[in-house]
Amino acid sequence: MTGWLRATLATGLAVGITGCTASAPPPPSPVPPPPVAPLTSTVPATTAAAPTTSPSPTPSQETPMPDQAALNQQLRDAAWRNDVAAARSLIERGADVNAKDDTQQSAYLVATSEGYDELLELTMANGAELNDKDSWNGTGLIRAAERGHGPVVGRLLKAGIDRDHVNRIGYQAIHEAVFLGKNTDSYVETVRLLIAGGVQLDRRSGREGRTPLQLAEQRGFDRLAETLRRGLQAPRPDNPDQALLEASRTGDADRAVQALRAGANLAAIDDRRRTPLLLAVTGNHVEVARILLALGADPNAVDQQQDTPWLVTGVTGSVPMAENLLRYHPDLTKRNRFGGTSLIPASERGHVDYVRRVAPIREIQINHVNNLGWTALLEAVVLGDGGERHQQIVSILLDNGADPRIADKDGVRPLQLARDKGYRQIADTLAARGG
């Protein structure tokens, strides 16, 4: 929180906040800057004196026994550290994901504000109260939107959180993302997800009396403003599913958002059974893919030629796309129409950075043999060009456990194949590794 915000809070709001360490965890700080002239509105005095009447006790809010209180505090501490293993153990011992400290922080709410995906899933799987509120009477969606945590925003929208809840100072998630955010990629993505999720776009903020678009213009956030304009002004597509498929194919993220807002199905398919996500991955349209994944697109959907989004990354060699997919735990054991993993075509095509990123992943099975009788190492030799890229790939594969003794269907090893093709550098590398 900036200095002027601290001063504003100290003089204008009697609302408890905390610091940013695990010992004093912060709720998001949703108080906006002083309004730009000619605005003269201020936070109402009633906000500072807002009553703090507690709701009727629920099991998680009742005063726990000392042992339970200790467990709950340990869970919150683990949440601030993003120590998922410790959090899981504490939950198994009875810690409550909804139990709050004096500053109204719970493990679930911490996960939303800090953008901890895996921790969020853990808390939601163990009874998190989706619409629970923090000390600002804000939901997890508001907290995540303020911080620009797009994947968390998408997950909460998918789960059915109250998307238009108004917090203590009259802000919804969309207001927080715009007025307390930045003109950066993560906030553009966050705003797109909120638009796609169907949030109100014309409600005025409690303090300034401005719409999200007006707030973006006031802050000089041209990228957020343009995203909001497109969301407000675009006509509703006649066929949302087809619009989403086309936007995913061409990489038009805002058009994809408009189609989703109009009700497009994430599982829509074209005449080749390709989903929007598969089309986005094929075209390496990362912005579109991130939106689709955050809202729940299936990373394992199979098209008519047995490709999945993950398998296609081996063809394109896109490390950014692979990283985005890995966040959503795709099935890395699925095989393409040749019976191969994503690593095999990547090795053939000379995608050095991709091979370097994927080869260490255990589930990939670096020595897997496809239907043609080739491993990734064999393909790098047989179908590669023997140049620097394939030389690097051979070394990377060997460094990660590729077996140079595995022969092709004719019983010929990679070393002999490299010699036959005149690839001296590769042959020398294989010979030195026991090939």
* Res 45: pLDDT: 32
List the one residue out of 133, 214, 211, 206 whose CA is nearest residue 170.
206
Angle at 115 between CA 6 and CA 130, to 5 degrees: 95
Q: How far apart are CA 216 and CA 205, in angstroms?
A: 12
* Residue-by-residue pLDDT tens, the chain, 435 positions: 433 333 343 334 333 333 333 334 444 444 343 333 333 333 333 222 333 333 344 445 555 555 999 999 999 999 999 999 999 999 999 999 999 999 999 999 999 999 999 999 999 999 999 999 999 999 999 999 999 999 999 999 999 999 999 999 999 999 999 999 999 999 999 999 999 999 999 999 998 999 999 999 999 999 999 999 999 998 999 999 999 999 999 999 999 999 999 999 999 999 999 999 999 999 999 999 999 999 999 999 999 999 999 999 999 999 999 999 999 999 999 999 999 999 999 999 999 999 999 999 999 999 999 999 999 999 999 999 999 999 999 999 999 999 999 999 999 999 999 999 999 999 999 999 987
- In eight-state DSSP terms, residue 31 is P
Quickly count: other Cβ atoms within 10 Å of residue 70's Cβ: 13
The per-residue pLDDT for 48 is: 28
Q: Which two tokens stand for residue 161?
A: 């959180």
67: which 2 tokens?
Answer: 């042992």
Cα–chain center distance at 328: 8
369 CB neighbour count, 10 Å cutoff:
17
| Cβ burial, residue 45 (10 Å; 0-12/13-18/19+) | exposed
* pTM for this predicted structure: 0.83
> What is d(CA 259, CA 264) in angstroms, rounded to the nearest whole number?
5
* Structure tokens belonging to residue 245: 């498929």
Can you read off the two tokens belonging to residue 211?
């719409």
pLDDT at position 65: 57
List phi, psi (to 5°) of 46.
-65, -20
Furthest CA-CA distance within the chain: 84
Name, in order, each residue with C-beta under 8 angstroms of 71's C-beta and a sequence gap of 6 or more.
90, 93, 94, 95, 96
What does the pLDDT read at residue 63? 56
What are 21's strand-pairing partners?
24
The SS3 call for residue 292 is helix
Tokens of 292: 């689709």
Closest CA to 375 of 435, 291, 293: 435
User: Which residue type, as a one-letter code, is found at position 267?
Assistant: A
Cα distances (angstroms) measured from residue 88 to each of 22, 81, 130:
18, 13, 19
Q: What domains, with CATH codes, occur in the chain?
A: 3-35+66-233 (1.25.40.20), 335-435 (1.25.40.20)
Give residue 49's identity as a one-letter amino acid code: A
Q: Please, what is the Cα angle at 45 between 44 and 49, to 5 degrees?
A: 125
> Which residue, chain included where needed, has tokens 């620009």?
148
Residue pair 415/430 in contact (Cβ under 8 Å)? The answer is yes
